[in-house]
Amino acid sequence: MSQAGFPSTSRARAVQPSRSRAAQPEDLAHIPWLPALGADERQRVLADLRVVQVEAGELVCRVGRPVTYWFGLVDGLLKMSNDSAMGIPITFTGLSPGGWFGEGTVLKNEVYRYNIQALRKSVVAGIPAETFHWLLGRSIGFNRFVMNQLNERLGQFIAAREIDRLNHPDARVARSLAALFHPVLYPGVGEVLRITQQELGYLVGLSRQRVNEALAALQADAVIRIEYGGVRVLDLERLRSYRRS
């Protein structure tokens, strides 16, 4: 087991495709690239799109498995991680509602180099890799979306390397929170992110108690406001560059 009893990815079960269903109108409302498609393209996506409910601890993607779908998070919270040779989990980033992920893996048609695990009960959508490449071959709007995704993702991981080098827990929590509020990668979040102190601890690598202290400090500095079941950002730019003296 990993920290605080959360199931490690080596023991977690993968979600079964047989549990998926066709997308409903409420699911489609959370897919940011759908409006960029033409009528024929949209028709194919609606025919191929699948949605599945993932339980906390289950894996959407597992290291070493071949890519079959391009996925997006409709609702819930996911984390992207890997397991080192020593069996120590390394968390790369969290994934918030509205975010689509794994386009680089689909483009290269390679096996996954990371795990995607649900931190809570979540709703995940996906289109087959074949549909993804079909869209790339005919939709300018879809190509622009994917290119923008890749560019923003690069910036996200550069920022993640900086977070890893921060020694102060308050700054680590602040920068990690800011990443979850990325308006391009996670357009479904808005100003309030539904997240618990324990879930944030899984992403940052800190105890729930230390995360609570960091959130209290950020609130005292008027950067965030802690609300029931989540966190509201009051100043995203300050959160992105937050440092404790």
> Model confidence over 40-60: pLDDT tens digits?
999 999 999 999 999 999 999
For the entire predicted model, the pTM comes to 0.84
Architecture field, domain 168-240: Orthogonal Bundle (1.10)
The position carrying tokens 């808005």 is 190
pLDDT at 4 over 50: no
Interatomic CA distance for residues 131 and 103, integer angstroms: 12
Residues of the chain with CATH 2.60.120.10: 3-158
Quick: pLDDT tens for 205-223: 889 999 999 999 999 999 9
107/89: higher pLDDT: 107
Q: Which of 33-37, 128-132, 234-238 has the lowest mean pLDDT?
A: 234-238
pLDDT digits (tens, 9 = 90+) for 72-98: 999 999 999 886 554 556 777 889 999
- Domain 3-158: give its CATH architecture: Sandwich (2.60)
pLDDT of residue 111: 94
At residue 93, what are phi and psi to the nearest 5 degrees? -170, 165
For 9-72, give the DSSP string: TTTPPBPPGGG-EEPPHHHHTT-TTGGGS-HHHHHHHHHH-EEEEE-TT-EEE-TTPBP-EEEE
Kindly report, as residue ranges, where domains of CATH 1.10.10.10 are found in the chain.
Answer: 168-240
